Amino acid sequence: MIEIKNIHKTFGDRTILEGVSGTFQPGDTSLIIGGSGTGKSVLLKCMIGLIQPEQGQVLYNGRDFLTGDEDTQKAIRREMGVLFQGGALFDSKTVRENVRFPLDMLTEMSSAEKNERADFCLQRVGLEAAAERMPSEISGGMKKRVGIARAIVMNPKYLFCDEPNSGLDPLTAIKIDELIKEITDEFRITTVVITHDMNSMLEIGEKIMFLYRGRKLWEGTSETITQSHVKELNEFIYANKLLRDTTQE
Amino acid sequence: MLHLGRYFIFLGTLFRNREKFGVYSKLILDECIQIGINSVFIVSIVSTFIGAVTCVQTAYNLVSPLVPLYIISVIVRDSTILELAPTITSVVLSGKVGSNIAGGLGTMRITEQIDALEVMGINSSSYLVLPKVVASMIMFPLLVILAGFLSIYGGYIAGTVAGIITQEDYIYGLRSDFKPFSITFALIKSVVFAFLISTISSFKGYYTSGGALEVGQASTAAVTNSCIAVLGADFLLAQLLL
């Protein structure tokens, strides 16, 4: 379980996050939604330790990640898998080498074992045939899938996805969503997804947190989100014409 | 001053939480090829022509019949070993290698590849930068030796083909009053310049933020700052060691 408590972050005189708190349960796909510039990505970066908030706590099964000692932070990092917005694949390495990379750096496994594990993860995301290709030779959707394979190669307990659907066509976006959901259920991972994609919200969002101007304005499930009376949330959801029309019907 | 402080903190991070030696050995080898072997062509061309031009221009300036011709090769030798080979090679490499390092790291930064390393618990600056620094400090002296040799040889070819100086005079001049410390001085300079160019370029690239435009700006700043640092260090080393 991940708990975030009272996260505050400012850049200069701009307040980005203002006392955001929440809980993310194992086996759930939790979504953090909100418009551009509401602090979603900053919150994610605070949770994975890329940005240090001025105030607040991030607890992984009760262990404080931000103020914990080096060993605690290292141990928690080993339990994390992160899918970055553009995949963040290493350009100079093949797809298999990218997936193998965490094993190379963080484990004492033999080369054969590493390859076997990397191939299993690539197979899991349906990319075993692309193992020898370079990141520049594969599509955006494939990069995301390789990113997922790399994120799960260390058997993480926590999976973070930063806008996994951005820049993808609707069909590929759905496939990525389904993959994230399947992996979350299969390995009982605590998954946190940052998105502003309404399809994702309805498809995979078991628990949803809505951020507005750095503050948590609403929290609930995909079933209850359409009944919300929060004006800002409704404006955000029904900006999508299709969703607006469907709900009105 | 703020940048200078950040630069020194950055240097400190290179040696903190390092990875296993085995990880670095392969990376250093890769960087040696990237930084050293891939620069042989440009260094060869530049140094050969500089030696040739130095020979021709020295001869042009020696108008007195009282000055023996072998002085031309003495000047070519000393200017090459003391200054042209280490400094000009380093300025050329600050353009080629410096922009490559800054551009590469800058791109890794904006495409979140550095973040991906950090999230895995890997010290990204040490993993990415230390091999470049070590490889530069290994390869720059070798490139300077090559540049010195080719520059003197370029002077020899230009001098003898153009009929400026005879082969015997040129070789006599090369051997005349030779101080072996010049070689040591050139190699010390090349190691210092290698460190400056690789660390300054890495610093500029590593802290890039924004997009493609900023990566270009980081590359330009890396080359400019490296050149200034090389020239400043050149003067300091000359004052301290000669």
Least reliable range by pLDDT among A100-114, A130-144, A211-225, B94-108: A211-225
State the smallest CA–CA distance between residue A103 and chain B in angstroms. 10
Position A117 in a domain: no
Higher pLDDT residue, B103 or A37?
A: B103
pLDDT band at A241 (very low <50, low <70, confident <90, very high): low
pLDDT band at A173 (very low <50, low <70, confident <90, very high): confident
pLDDT band at A42 (very low <50, low <70, confident <90, very high): very high
Position A202 in a domain: yes
pLDDT of residue A249: 58
ipTM: 0.87
Enumerate residue ranges in chain B where pLDDT < 50.
none
Range of the domain at A238: 1-79+189-249
Nearest CA in chain B to A76: B121
pLDDT of residue B66: 85
The enclosing domain of A51 has a CATH number of 3.40.50.300
pLDDT of residue A233: 85
Asked if B152 and B174 count as a contact pair (C-beta separation under 8 A), the reply is: yes
Whether B25 contacts chain A with CB within 8 A? no
Bridge partner residues of A216 (DSSP): A211
CA dihedral sign of residues B115, B118, B123, B127? negative
Backbone angles phi, psi at A51, to 5 degrees: -130, 135
* B123 vs B239: CA distance, rounded Å: 38
Bridge partner residues of A185 (DSSP): none
* B162 vs B160: CA distance, rounded Å: 5
Residue A244 has pLDDT above 70, yes or no: no
pLDDT band at A44 (very low <50, low <70, confident <90, very high): very high
Bridge partner residues of A59 (DSSP): A3, A64
Domain boundaries, chain B: 20-241
Asked if B241 and B82 count as a contact pair (C-beta separation under 8 A), the reply is: no
Task: Say how many domains are in chain A.
Answer: 1
Mutate one of A51, A65, A76, A92 to test the B interface: name it (highest B CB count within 10 A).
A92
Nearest CA in chain B to A154: B120
pLDDT of residue A174: 87
For A47-91, the pLDDT digits (tens) are: 999 999 999 999 999 999 988 888 899 899 999 999 998 889 999
pLDDT of residue A113: 94
Give B-chain residues touching A78 at CB under 8 angstroms: 121
Whether A82 contacts chain B with CB within 8 A? yes
Helices (H), ranges, chain A: 40-47, 70-78, 95-106, 111-124, 140-152, 170-187, 198-204, 231-237, 241-248
Nearest CA in chain B to A51: B115
pLDDT of residue B235: 95
Q: Which of residues 111-130 of B touch A (CB under 8 A)?
A: 111-113, 115-116, 118-122
Position A165 in a domain: no
Mutate one of A82, A103, A163, A166 to test the B interface: name it (highest B CB count within 10 A).
A82
Beta carbons of B119 and A80 less than 8 Å apart: yes
Nearest CA in chain B to A46: B119
**Local structure of A24: helix, strand or coil:** strand
| Tokens read off for A88 | 């963040």
